[in-house]
Amino acid sequence: MFPNLLSCLFGISMVAFKNQQIVPDLIDTVPKDLIQIKYPSGVSVQLGNELTPTQVKDEPTVYWPTEVGALYTLAMIDVDAPSRANHTWRGVKHWLAVNTPHTNTKFAYTLADYMGSGPPKGSGLHRYVFLAYKQAHRIGGMDPDNDNRLNFDINAFAKQYDLGQPIAGNFFVAQWDQSVED
């Protein structure tokens, strides 16, 4: 029964990632596992549910299936900047952590600190995508960069560091509200 449950969850993920066009707008294939994401506000990410900027302003806890001794890269990307219709800044880096043991981001090397959603007023819903990659080796020689967040190409990054395809993912959507201004 357990394999059937996993197959069903993968099928649900595949539909959600394709219906929201994350495949092909951001990645080429649907990750086989889900990242469980829970925010301190009490909300969880549920394959495209709408969350407010206030609900996701603080760094969440994350979990995905891992292997003992392996290291992982975790990314959170806004696919729709400045809007879904005009995505000239596609790939806004909202979080990037490498050398993550298991799913413990507190011990990761953070290249871009967590930044909650903040879509511009009138830009509609934005897709915020979390992706986890299993690393082939430790990533070194990079300095954190919280200033250059626009036009981040997660696929080029994955290729450069031999990450392959994402092994787990999840996403939510958010739109502007007054808390963005605050």
Which DSSP category does 138 fall into?
-
Domain ranges, ordered by start, for the chain: 2-181
Predicted pLDDT at 10:
55
Distance in angstroms (rounded) separating the CA atoms of residues 1 and 124: 41
Mind giving me the DSSP string for 92-149? EEEEEEEEEETT-GGGSEEEE------PPTT---EEEEEEEEE-SS---S----SS--
Please write the tens of the pLDDT for every residue from 112-167. 999 999 999 999 999 999 999 999 999 998 899 889 999 999 999 999 999 999 99
Residue 87's pLDDT is 82
What is the pLDDT of the chain when averaged over all its residues? 92
Distance, CA of 119 to CA of 154 (rounded, Å): 20
Q: Is residue 23's pLDDT more than 60?
A: yes
We find that the CATH architecture of domain 2-181 is: Alpha-Beta Complex (3.90)
% of the chain exceeding 90 in pLDDT: 80
Collapsing DSSP to helix, strand or coil, 17 comes out as: helix
Higher pLDDT, 43 or 3: 43
User: Can you give the pLDDT at residue 59?
Assistant: 98
Say if residue 182's pLDDT is above 80: no
Residue 9: what pLDDT? 53
